[in-house]
């Protein structure tokens, strides 16, 4: 039993898939709720405040992408995509709109449970703070106690993985990290994904924390190597 009672919302229009996933997750100690269409997802989300969502991208009334975008406007809850699409561009598109990880169909229920555990660890384990409040140039402030990032006094809605990557960079300002190092430090050695996943998260971070994402002042690209944080 490893779930510690965390609430998981499983979303798929195929009843059999939901039943199998629910059984495996409950056996691992999770409290599982199910939804079979977009309307049920949003109403159930508001009611139970889940710790994580397993979201099929192909639903009858709304696409998984639409649901992901709607949830990302109000919450940083971790989202794992279930997708029959195996092309890299499709997966990167899902990550680009705010998903934290993906599992391709057909999948092993045991593998999905393992990915749920890995994403939850990344999302809810405390990073090692340098201090409770970190401020850069007066306009970017990171509050480690609240896991909150503010830009010009406005709270920025980062996904758990975006926050982890930002904190990995912030802990070692001026140090250049390869994509592999950022994956290991921020997403965990058990993360299975493309190196370009990091590029997608960096692009999203720049859109959120940089005054001009095309001319970044905080997260800089070191060509041929990776990225570094350059805040003062």
Domain ranges (residues) in the chain: 7-124, 133-229
Which residues, in sequence order, are CB contacts of 24 under 8 Å at separation 6+?
A: 109, 110, 112, 113
User: 205-215 pLDDT, tens per residue?
Assistant: 999 999 999 99
- For the domain covering 7-124, report its CATH number: 3.40.50.2300
Q: In the prediction, which pLDDT does 125 show? A: 63
Tokens in use for 64? 């998984």
Strands of the sheet containing 133-136, edge to edge, are: 133-136, 140-143, 148-151, 154-156
Decide: helix, strand or coil at residue 150. Answer: strand
In CATH, which of 1.10.569.10, 3.50.50.60, 1.10.540.10, 1.10.10.10 is domain 133-229?
1.10.10.10
What pTM did the predictor assign?
A: 0.58
Tokens in use for 200? 């997608």
User: 2-28 pLDDT, tens per residue?
Assistant: 566 799 999 999 999 999 999 999 999
Q: First CA to last CA across the chain, in angstroms? A: 44
User: 158-211 pLDDT, tens per residue?
Assistant: 988 899 889 888 887 778 888 888 887 777 656 666 667 888 899 999 999 999
């Amino acid at each position: 039993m490893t779930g510690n009672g965390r609430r998981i919302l499983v979303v798929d229009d195929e009843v059999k898939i939901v039943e199998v996933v629910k059984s495996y997750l409950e056996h691992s100690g999770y409290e599982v709720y199910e939804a079979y269409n977009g309307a049920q997802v949003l109403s159930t989300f508001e009611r139970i405040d889940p710790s994580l969502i397993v979201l099929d991208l192909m639903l009858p009334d709304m696409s998984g992408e639409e649901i992901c975008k709607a949830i990302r406007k109000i919450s940083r809850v971790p989202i794992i995509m279930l997708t029959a699409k195996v092309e890299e561009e499709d997966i990167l598109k899902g990550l680009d709109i705010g998903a934290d990880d993906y599992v391709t169909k057909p999948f092993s229920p045991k593998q999905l449970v393992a990915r749920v555990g890995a994403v939850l660890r990344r999302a809810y384990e405390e990073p090692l703070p340098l201090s409770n409040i970190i401020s850069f140039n007066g306009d970017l402030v990171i509050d480690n106690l609240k896991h909150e990032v503010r830009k010009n006094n406005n709270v920025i809605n980062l996904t758990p993985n975006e926050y982890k990557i930002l904190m990995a960079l912030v802990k070692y300002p001026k140090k250049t990290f390869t994509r592999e190092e950022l994956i290991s430090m921020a997403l965990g050695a058990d993360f299975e994904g493309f190196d370009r996943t990091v590029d997608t998260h960096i692009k999203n971070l720049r859109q959120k924390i940089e005054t001009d994402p095309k001319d970044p002042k905080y997260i800089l690209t070191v060509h041929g190597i990776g990225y570094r944080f350059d805040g003062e």
